[in-house]
Amino acid sequence: MCIKSVAGRSLWSSGLGRSRYWLLGVVSAIALLLPTFAGPAQAAYPAFLDAYVNDYGQVLSASEKSQVRAQLEQFRNRTGVHAVLLTVNSIYDYGTGDAAIEPFATNLFNTWGIGDAARDDGILLLVAPGDRKVRIELGSGYDRSYDRVAQAIIDDAILPQFRQGNIGLGTAIGVNEIVENFDPSQPPAVNPLLSVVPPAVADWVSPEVAIGGGLAAGGVGAVSSLFALGHWKRYRKRTCPQCQVEMERLDEQADDRYLSAGQRTEESIKSVDYDVWLCGSCGHHEVFDYGSFGSGYQKCPGCRHKTMKVSTRTLVSPTYHSTGTAEVSEACQFCDRTHHYTRIIPRKTPPSSSSSSGGGGGGSSSGGGASGSW
Ligand SMILES: [Zn+2]
Ligand SMILES: [Zn+2]
């Protein structure tokens, strides 16, 4: 660095011969690059290079990365919500002075300006494997009830994978859950993961999800490994907790007598698949549910079953400059509850801002969200 500036000065003082122009060019180029090399010494947040996936921690495989990216891009195009994934080895690699992942995430969120400035609806998933920390940072447009949604995603979907060393898979699952739960047209109360699958089961991935949901949700990350994992977890041997005898999984006809009418309706419309495991020795049985994200049914606020068909009809199409409106019709196939309302369709995102380059919409966060460690 010193040598180069001396060389530069000597060039200037000695006058510029024509043959020395190339050297000046080299020196100028080095001078331009110097701030880049000086990055770690000067406190600086990682660069916002990609609008959706910035995998500095290198936790994603190439296929996971492209799937996660496509999912986040589709999510933004469909809902207007800009969600970004950032992985770093450690937040302390950047010398920002942030003492913990929470202020690091908040300050980075505001430096990047994630989300729409008017709605403040941006979302950041930050994974730091070197620190064994994960955070979902939410724009200040979300009220605190969304902190619980973020916490559930971390606790129930992400951390179980991270604890088994599956950082890439857990990250992809986390992105999928964010897309599922922060869709402004679908309040988190009707979320399949958080409401249907009890946390104790933690079997949120079923083969149906991997196949059906992967297409419907715009591409679940790492479909093949999700399938393998879900299949294993669903069909592995289970022993009776009372007498330690191996239990039997009943077939679809035999399990009906252990299911409620609402559960049987869910099975018949294929929104939830139930497995009933029975102990032949003592008669103890356990019921496991496997929601299908791609079924087109949501949880009914009336009967709490995943039997509500939601159809949407566009009344006014959105443009780049104005929002549109849609008529939403909800009809429960079990309790016959119906509900009609209109909702706003977000403005279309101009092609330029949905391109691959980074850059936020000026959104800000006041520290909402949730964290976890493993
Ligand atoms: Zn038993
Ligand atoms: Zn209902």
Q: Which two tokens stand for residue 43?
A: 């406190």
Residue finishing a domain among 197, 213, 240: 197
* Pair (56, 174) in one structural domain: yes
Ligand whose nearest atom lies closest to the CA of 239: 1
pLDDT at 211 over 90: no
The verdict on residue 232 lying in a domain is: no
> Ligand 1 mean position to 288 CA, how many Å?
17
The verdict on residue 8 lying in a domain is: yes
The verdict on residue 188 lying in a domain is: yes
> Ligand 2 mean position to 209 CA, how many Å?
22
* Pair (15, 136) in one structural domain: no
* Pair (75, 56) in one structural domain: yes
Which CATH number fits the domain that encloses residue 129? Answer: 3.10.310.50
Q: What is the pTM of this model?
A: 0.50
Residue 133 has phi, psi (to 5 degrees) of: -130, 145
Residue finishing a domain among 162, 180, 197: 197
* Pair (27, 50) in one structural domain: no
Residue 256: helix, strand or coil by DSSP? Answer: helix
The verdict on residue 368 lying in a domain is: no
Ligand whose nearest atom lies closest to the CA of 248: 1
Q: What percent of the chain has pLDDT over 70?
A: 72
pLDDT digits (tens, 9 = 90+) for 220-262: 334 444 444 556 667 888 999 999 999 999 998 899 999 999 9
Upper half-sphere CA count for residue 50 (Cβ side, 13 Å): 16
pLDDT at 81 over 60: yes
The verdict on residue 30 lying in a domain is: yes
Rounded Cα gap, residues 52 and 360, in angstroms: 10
Model confidence band, residue 54 (pLDDT cutoffs 50, 70, 90): very high
The verdict on residue 301 lying in a domain is: no
Tell me which residue of 145, 230, 156, 160 sits closest to 194, measured CA to CA: 156
* Pair (135, 172) in one structural domain: yes
* Pair (108, 11) in one structural domain: no
The verdict on residue 96 lying in a domain is: yes
Q: Which domain holds residue 11?
A: 2-37
293 versus 105: the higher-pLDDT residue is 105
pLDDT at 1 over 90: no
CB 116 within 8 A of CB 350: no
* Pair (150, 67) in one structural domain: yes
Residue 80: helix, strand or coil by DSSP? Answer: coil
> Ligand 1 mean position to 270 CA, how many Å?
29
CB 145 within 8 A of CB 152: no
Tell me, what's the pLDDT at 336?
87
Model confidence band, residue 20 (pLDDT cutoffs 50, 70, 90): low
Ligand whose nearest atom lies closest to the CA of 339: 2
* Pair (94, 31) in one structural domain: no
Say what angle helices 2-14 and 21-37 make with each other, to 10 degrees: 150
Ligand whose nearest atom lies closest to the CA of 278: 1
Choose the weakest-confidence range: 18-22, 130-134, 242-246, 359-363: 18-22
Question: 219 CB contacts (<8 Å, ≥6 apart)?
Answer: 67, 70, 71, 74
* Pair (28, 60) in one structural domain: no
State the average pLDDT for the chain: 79
Tell me, what's the pLDDT at 213?
37
Structural domain total, the chain: 2
* Pair (33, 51) in one structural domain: no
The verdict on residue 330 lying in a domain is: no
Tell me which residue of 143, 132, 46, 30 sits closest to 85, measured CA to CA: 46
> Ligand 1 mean position to 244 CA, how many Å?
6
Distances 82 to 119, 138, 185, 222, 234 between C-alpha atoms, Å: 11, 11, 15, 22, 34
DSSP state of 157: I
**Averaged pLDDT, 206-227:** 39
pLDDT digits (tens, 9 = 90+) for 163-203: 999 999 999 999 999 998 898 876 543 333 333 333 333 33
Tell me, what's the pLDDT at 289?
87
Amino acid identity of residue 364, one-letter, is S
